[in-house]
Amino acid sequence: MSNEIDIKSYPNGIFGATTYLIYDKKTLEAAIIDCTCSTESIEQEIKNKKLNLKYILITHGHFDHVYCVKKMKEKFPSALVFMHKDDLPLLKQVEVQCSMAGVDGIETPCVDGLLDEKTQNLKLGENDIKIIHTKGHSKGGICYLIKDTLFSGDTLFCESIGRCDLFGGSFSEIEQSIKQKLFKLDENITVYPGHGEKTTIEHEKKYNPYFGSNY
């Protein structure tokens, strides 16, 4: 039987992006999903709870979601940094992204491994971490599904969706990703997005102004 997962959110990172720290309450294995800022708070939480930071999981390669990955990796060198291969070109342009956004540049974070929907054996304790490739906001955008919780990055927000006008973006692709993948999930799944408040699959299927049934 799978163990219980605890979730700590750190909103108001760079450009309002959210970092999530999740951990298995039994084994204390932990993962960070995106790493936008608040590194000191996360580091303190890991130390206070005596967590074993196993992964740093990237939803996509935009600078605001990877801004502190390198810094966190330096503090926890055994944590493995994973992302989808299709966003590696985006990650390699992170300094250019920062310059265009008018923020201090960062070095390109190192990635330890690449994920896709065939990835298996990615676990926290006995809990499987399922990879869902949801291109549209970027070519290599992915969501992480753990039990009844979805970390949706910048694909699906509470009553909104990610921008499609940036490099690698496509409205038709994000539509397919949301309708054919995310909206096919159990409606009771809670969605933790890369920006803003949490929501549910059920709520978005009804009230999302782009794809909801009530619009």
pLDDT in tens, 133-174: 999 999 999 999 999 999 999 999 999 999 999 888 999 999
Q: Which of 168, 146, 136 lies closest to 2, judged by CA?
A: 146
pTM over 0.85: yes
**pLDDT at residue 29 tops 80:** yes
* Residue position matching structure tokens 């054919």: 180
Domain that holds residue 70: 5-207
**Helix or strand run (H / E) with residue 83:** strand 80-84
Rounded distance, CA 177 to CA 133, Å? 8
Number of domains, the chain: 1
Q: CATH number of the domain at 104, please.
A: 3.60.15.10
Note the pLDDT tens digit of each residue in 169-209.
Answer: 999 999 999 999 999 999 999 999 999 999 999 999 999 99
What's phi and psi for 145, nearest 5 deg? -110, 120
Length of the chain: 215
Q: Is residue 26 one of the residues assigned to a domain? A: yes
Q: What is the DSSP letter of 109?
A: P
* Pair 151, 144: CB distance under 8 Å: yes
Q: Is residue 215 one of the residues assigned to a domain? A: no
Q: Is residue 112 one of the residues assigned to a domain? A: yes
Q: Is residue 213 one of the residues assigned to a domain? A: no
Q: Is residue 185 one of the residues assigned to a domain? A: yes
What pLDDT does residue 2 have? 57
Q: Is residue 182 one of the residues assigned to a domain? A: yes
Q: Is residue 186 one of the residues assigned to a domain? A: yes
Q: Is residue 28 one of the residues assigned to a domain? A: yes
